[in-house]
Structure 1
Amino acid sequence: MDQMAFYALDEHQKKLMLEVALGNKGKSVSVFAGMCGEIYVFDQGENTFPRYVCAKTPKHLQQVPIEEINSRFVNELKNQLSYNHQMFVHWAFDFTEVLGSPVALFRYWGGDLEKVIRNSELSSVTEKLSIMVYVCSGLIHCYKNGLVAHQDLKPANIFLRDVKSEFRDLPDLDIYKLALIADFGLANAFLNSSVFGGSRPYMAPEQWSESELSPKTDVFALGVILHELMSGGFHPVGIKLSDYWPQPVEGNSKKWTRPDAWKQWAETVNIKFEGATPIEPMVQSLIHKMLSIDAADRPSIEEVKVTLLNIVKSKSQESFTQLEFLVNYFENKTSTKPLKERWPYLSERWGKFQEKFEKRI
């Protein structure tokens, strides 16, 4: 019954209880909800680094038992722990509970790719391409550590860390918005629970047909994201996505709220290169390959990364050199040790957290 108490609270009460329970994390200054979780952002004060952290709790879903909700939440965190400790993968730094509800604590990065695309905050082609290079690096790391398919790659699940705001005297280059892959709630779900879905605009043909998934399923989603990023928010289907999905703005067609419309597009993949910003030919060619209907015809994630780097090189040798250096540096810094050895505190916290909530599953 204690677990029900947290879900029964109103928003103000939840924030208050989290502030009290987490104590030294400061004041909750904002909250936003995803598909399966609620994120509470805490301000630890201007003299604290990092200033902002966030607490993630599972979202209460009607007609789904709380034990099942917690099971999904724990599974997502388990996946994330398998892939963490790489610069381009979002990670949790602590686990706890509030009134019986599981809570995971993360660094708050201040923005994500969806927000950046929606607000047209990026103008440099090099900056956009560098973000995609970082995403590729993070995914390559995840695949080496057990990920078969993320299944839910989309701009909202790619956080951005602006290191120019953290470090002084960096070279004047547009490559310092680092990407971090997040939300592993559907990672390998087709294997673990026969769930093939994801977010409809980014789903590959094999997800719709419930065929075998692979890293190339994620390459398809990245092709859609690359098109959005380079065109100013336009999906390859030819619409400005935020104007039609998940809910259309007033006066727009509701067609794209229906799954059959997205399934039909994925079966034909008719790409329309239009948008607020023209997409140059080299990037168009890459998008075409990434959005191939047959997964076998898509490039590997390693090939996508190399192609993106080569396009950056054609734009700026200096940006390419620094970008390649950063990616290689962080890839080489990635620990191969098990969590228990590289982060004993977190391993112990996770063990207790997992044991407590798995007993209720």
Structure 2
Amino acid sequence: MNQKWQVPGFAEVDELGAGGFGRVVLAKHEESGQLVAIKYLRGEFLSEPWVADGFRREAWLLRGVTSPHVVRLFEFIESPQGAALVMEAVPGVSLRALLAAEGTLAPESALAILKGSLLGLAAAHAAGVVHRDYKPGNVLVSREGESKLVDFGLATLDGQSGLAAGSPSYMAPEQWAGQPGIPATDVYAATCVFFQCVTGHRPFEAGTTEQLRSLHERGSVPLDVVPEDLRPLIARGMAKDPAWRPASAEAFVTELESVARAAYGKDWERRGWKRLATSVAALTALTPLALLATGGMAAAPVAAAGGTGTGVVAATVGKIVISVLAIGALVAGGVWVYTSLGDPPRQAALSVTVQTAAGQDPALPITYSLQYPQVSGHADAAVQQRVNDALRAPIDKRLQSLRQELADPDILGMVRERGDVLKAHTTAEVLLQTTGLLSVRYDHTLDSAVIAHSSWQFPETVNVDLSTGQVLGPREMFRPEVLTAAGMDTLTARLGPHTRNGFCSTPAIGSYGGDQVSIDASQVQGADHVPGADIGFTATGVDFLIKWYELGCDMASGQETVSLPYDEISDLLQPQLLTMLGRQPASAPASSSARPSGTTYTNPRFGFSTLVPAGYTASPYHPENGDGMQYTNASLGATLTVWGANDARTAQEILDETAQEIEGEGGQVTHQQVDGTAYTISGYDAGGQIFYERGYAGPASRACLRWGYPRAHKADLDAPVEATVNAFHPGDLTRPH
């Protein structure tokens, strides 16, 4: 196969770089004479789905990011011989080459480069894109005093998982753990690069990848080698917990400028670029990009939307990149096939199946039928094994306890004498599966005429971190200040209104007892200040299985599962756990500032509720078999619709039918996902407006929230949409209304 396939209408000038999957060349547009950079994927990799999809993903994500600090995508083309990205050519050098030549940079120069590339990241974050591979080789420094971000090959949409890859020297702890990308992940990497610029070495260096991972996850940043004025900035940007970093690149730029002015004066940026000018010009002169000195910066070979392109490729591909509507367009007698960029490639979800271990003990009177989940398709075989070991442990532990019981000759003799056979049974239910966490509830029973284990009559829940295989305990779930006497009082107060009868009291004996119990296990069990309950996670909140008698109430109080919605408990949970759950950490600056003022609407028929932003006009909404409300904001052209309906379909069935309906009407679905009983779908309707729908399906009814608004007001509505979605309570879906 021809490895030198070229995009028609362009003449190759020189090669800028090559790798295992392709090459990057400097090329001239034959009709206009303008210079561009073309990134080629070799044709043989089009048959490798993960490589080809990654290349298409890069094009799809990059086409939505517009900024003078991001290398611009002009065209994307795919053919049977190869695929290519036609991009802006920048007269400059990579930060990697600059550091190789200079060793270290003056603080003002490092700050100037960091600011420009952070502005590029800010544009990506505003478009919902997380870069995930910020490193010196992906930052271009131009002679004109600009820094630009390149290579979105590992990028993902905000909050979505991507390839388990990156540049280890700059990867944030959550990226090492395989968690979904968030803007704070890019902030961490950018700060690592900034550290390298001012010190001449990376913040962490190690002999093995595992050692490097450990340093990024737990090691202290060596701030003593950093100029004192810059230490707070680096400490913030490299915080282990993403909730304590600046929430976005834009927020980080604000902090950077404040630090730079205080430390180096008002003209710090001008002086920083001035110091770089000679080195950047000299290094550029040694590359083929020196040709841009006479031709100038390459202008776009395709026109803006509504304009006229130049050349066959420009005219055709330009329409695809700009409108993102063309599908399977054929030009030049059917030779070139242009791929739709409408839907981003998706990573396959981890597969979870419920297995059954059934049989009879060869030596003891025990039969068993025990369910447990098993995962497959994990990128890391060792982690997958740890996850599966953790998921099987509950049934192995129960079976082992029976064998230990029958190890007593007297008990075994009694069982045999009565002809008893111990029948153990376990059912397993997946409460919640996200990209980062699996929550599983096990229900155990034991049928025996001789042995009665009370522990077999109660469920237990196992919550596993899918990125590490760790079983999560109270310290991984709750913030440190919650695991105190005062914190347990707060949790008790939050749980109380959701219980059947409130927290009961201990039995009164004379003048003793009669005190109201607390969720705090330490008051009765002498344990640490942890919740005295079995804890599981669902799509809508946190389930606490409370055995009232274990907290000090009488045996007649029994047990109860109390569900606490996420918006009532998120501030008590660890930020890392919220990230696993796919939720914004409650303490992140973006959360507190993003929540708009408004009121809460609760539907009297279905019981669902949500936050309604201020300034919206209400009108009744009556879907088939249901009831709800519609809120509109005429100035923004925005509509928020919330409703419930009697519906026995599953979340997957509702999602599939909703997607078919939208696409059948001429709309476009760009994201769809099912998490247990919840589903999410978003994209563009037939009129080009953004839509976002979040719904919950139960055995007998469902509850849904749907936003619709113009693309022009996305920035105005990001915060209200997030706030209403996080505040949405689906109500009781187990029965019709």
TM-score (norm: length of structure 1): 0.69
Given candidates 236, 250, 255, the residue that maps to 2:203 is 236
2:220 aligned residue: 270
More divergent stretch after superposition (118-127 vs 284-293): 118-127
2:64 aligned residue: 82
Q: Would you say 1:125 and 2:107 are equivalent positions?
A: yes
Contact 1:29-1:43 within 8 A present in 2 as well = no
Q: Which ranges of structure 1 fall in alignment gaps of 5 or more residues?
A: 164-175, 240-254, 324-338
In structure 2, the CA distance between the partners of 1:87 and 1:42, relative to structure 1 (3 Å rule), is same
Q: Would you say 1:298 and 2:245 are equivalent positions?
A: yes
Deviations 1:220-248 (A, max 9, x none): 1111111011112x0112x5xxxxxxxxx
2:231 aligned residue: 284
Q: Would you say 1:73 and 2:55 are equivalent positions?
A: yes
Contact 2:111-2:256 within 8 A present in 1 as well = yes
Tell me the distance in 2 between the aligned counterparts of 1:36 and 1:189: 23
SS class of match (2:74)? strand
Deviations 1:79-124 (A, max 9, x none): 000113x101111223345762112222222311111111117743
Contact 1:71-1:357 within 8 A present in 2 as well = no
Q: Would you say 1:186 and 2:154 are equivalent positions?
A: yes
Which letter maps to 1:267?
Answer: E
Deviations 1:250-307 (A, max 9, x none): xxxxx54x42122111121322357xxx631121221111111111111232332122
Deviations 1:130-180 (A, max 9, x none): 111111211112111121x211111111112221xxxxxxxxxxxx2x111
Taking the TM superposition and a 5 Å limit, the aligned residue runs for 1:157-236 are: 157-163=138-144, 176=145, 178-188=146-156, 194-232=162-200, 234-236=201-203
Q: Would you say 1:94 and 2:75 are equivalent positions?
A: yes
Q: Would you say 1:40 and 2:25 are equivalent positions?
A: yes
Deviation (angstroms), 1:347: 3.6
Tell me the distance in 2 between the aligned counterparts of 1:36 and 1:287: 35
Deviation (angstroms), 1:71: 2.4
SS class of match (1:117)? helix
Q: How many residues align?
A: 290
Which letter maps to 1:144?
Answer: A
SS class of match (1:93)? strand
Higher relative contact order (CA 8 A, sep 6+): 1
Q: Percent identity?
A: 19
Contact 2:176-2:213 within 8 A present in 1 as well = yes
1:153 aligned residue: 134
1:54 aligned residue: 37
Contact 1:59-1:69 within 8 A present in 2 as well = no
2:319 aligned residue: 348
- More strand per residue: 2
In structure 2, the CA distance between the partners of 1:205 and 1:144, relative to structure 1 (3 Å rule), is same
- More helix per residue: 1
Deviations 1:47-106 (A, max 9, x none): x986x53211125788x834543322111111000113x101111223345762112222
Taking the TM superposition and a 5 Å limit, the aligned residue runs for 1:15-26 are: 17-18=5-6, 22-23=8-9, 25-26=10-11
Deviation (angstroms), 1:193: 5.6
1:170 aligned residue: none
SS class of match (1:82)? coil
Tell me the distance in 2 between the aligned counterparts of 1:70 and 1:352: 20
In structure 2, the CA distance between the partners of 1:71 and 1:212, relative to structure 1 (3 Å rule), is closer
Deviation (angstroms), 1:204: 0.8
Deviation (angstroms), 1:341: 5.2
Q: Give the structure with higher Rg (CA).
A: 2
1:311 aligned residue: 259
Tell me the distance in 1 between the aligned counterparts of 2:126 and 2:77: 29
Q: Which ranges of structure 2 fall in alignment gaps of 5 or more residues?
A: 273-303, 310-314, 329-336, 346-737
In structure 2, the CA distance between the partners of 1:105 and 1:211, relative to structure 1 (3 Å rule), is closer
SS class of match (2:119)? helix
Contact 1:269-1:293 within 8 A present in 2 as well = no
Contact 2:105-2:197 within 8 A present in 1 as well = no
Tell me the distance in 1 between the aligned counterparts of 2:308 and 2:160: 27
RMSD after superposition: 3.4
Tell me the distance in 2 between the aligned counterparts of 1:132 and 1:285: 16
More divergent stretch after superposition (124-133 vs 92-101): 92-101
Contact 1:151-1:187 within 8 A present in 2 as well = yes
